[in-house]
Amino acid sequence: MKIIQSSSSDFASEFRELLERGKMDIENVSQIVSGLLKEIQNDGNSALKSQIARFDRWEPKEDSELQVDPADMERAYNSIDEELKKALHLSYDRIKAYHEKLMPKTWTYKEESGNILGQKVTPVDRAGLYIPGGKAAYPSSLLMNAIPAIVAGVEEIVVCTPAPDNELNELLLAACHICNLKKVFKVGGASAIGAMAYGTETIPKVDVITGPGNIFVATAKKLVYGEVNIDMIAGPSEIGVLADKSANIEYIAMDLLSQAEHDEMASSILITDSEALAKNVSAQVETFLKSLSREEIARKSIEERGAIIVTETMDEAIELMNQIAPEHLEIVTEDPFAFLEKIKHAGAIFLGEYTPEPIGDYIAGPNHTLPTGGTAKFYSPLSVEHFLKKSSIISMSKEGIQEIGKECALIADVEGLSAHAQSVRLRLDGIE
């Protein structure tokens, strides 16, 4: 991995490149995606089946072929070994327990005048989950997206996932069975986003779409936002590591590679005040690379988008990491919790040498669908909140409207909205 000194004369330009790591050339694919979405909006299943033939190399003859039979999910679940079943159920239980603690409640309070104010929390009617396929299938992504929707109380959950050559990953189907999902469709890419956003003869229109995907999926989500809600525009995976001289070199090196192996566009960044640690981690990364099953992917990621920054102090390291705002942030120092308060921007924070990022991907409990590319400055992890909507509650008593009605009408007058003002004054006059 390349080592950059924060004190070097060209550091500013090199660091700017790191800050731009998450940029996706959405403009270049917008026209293509927009065309695909329009086809689905106009022609429904007919367009959907044509696009599946074009991108996934099989063409459904009947509309019913788009949907996965729940019996196939159950069969896939029964086919996996018991240890794996236990692992998936443990993951389910931990994710569910964590998200239950995030669940907001409806609340009200009563003022002395008798006015009642509050907020009503209600789940959306229907949620759409996009689960990637293609290079790999991720049952963990299904769990991370479905469980918050289940906890939120969403009545109907729709899943879309690509099935290249009309084949689906058995573990993904098993995860669908664990979540008791019934509406799972073999549709991927921008086609799936369009189908869930607009609805077709087979795939129902949803209220919110969540889940990661490639640039075509991200672009489609951006284009349908407003027709439906979305969770975020997520880009390639990334990890940032803050470490001092006490950090375990092998742990750090492998953690950096755990993100690099996702895809060539992933980024892995270590910031440390120890030049010795930087050199040793760089060498260890090269050693570990040779043993990886996805060496070619990880190597390209590390060489093109990986970096180790050496700073003068850890305070400087923290400041730089806050500017990066990584999706995943590991703090591996003598006292990691001492740094926690200083961290302003990160999707998920992993504290201590026994908390590798992959534990958060699968089984810790918090969601692994996280903001990328610096968007942790304004986005939050996927949670039950994404599947809920909130309504304000207002109930004025006779005494209450007498207390504040005059001022309300005055503000309406100033804004030139006479019907607004008269609406309040009619009530005030009626009381008098």
Active-site residue list: 327-328
- Rounded CA-CA distance 158/267 in Å is 31
Tell me the torsion sign for CA atoms 255, 259, 260, 262.
Answer: positive
**Local structure of 312: helix, strand or coil:** coil
422 phi/psi in degrees, rounded to 5:
-70, -30
The separation between CA 355 and the C-alpha centre of its own chain, rounded to angstroms, equals 21
- Rounded CA-CA distance 68/415 in Å is 56
| Nearest residue to 145 (alpha-carbon basis) of 18, 268, 230, 31 | 230
| Nearest residue to 203 (alpha-carbon basis) of 30, 33, 46, 32 | 46
- Rounded CA-CA distance 108/123 in Å is 18
How many other β-carbons are positioned within 10 Å of the β-carbon of residue 33? 25
- Rounded CA-CA distance 266/258 in Å is 10
Cβ atoms 4, 14 nearer than 8 A: yes
First to last CA, the chain: 79
Kindly write down the DSSP assignment for every residue of 263-277, as one continuous string. -TT-EEEEEES-HHH
The two three-digit tokens of residue 151, written as one number: 């906890």
Buried b or exposed e, range 115-129, using 16+ CB within 10 angstroms: beeeeebebbebbbb
Sheet with 126-130, strands from edge to edge, namely 183-186, 156-161, 126-130, 208-210, 229-230
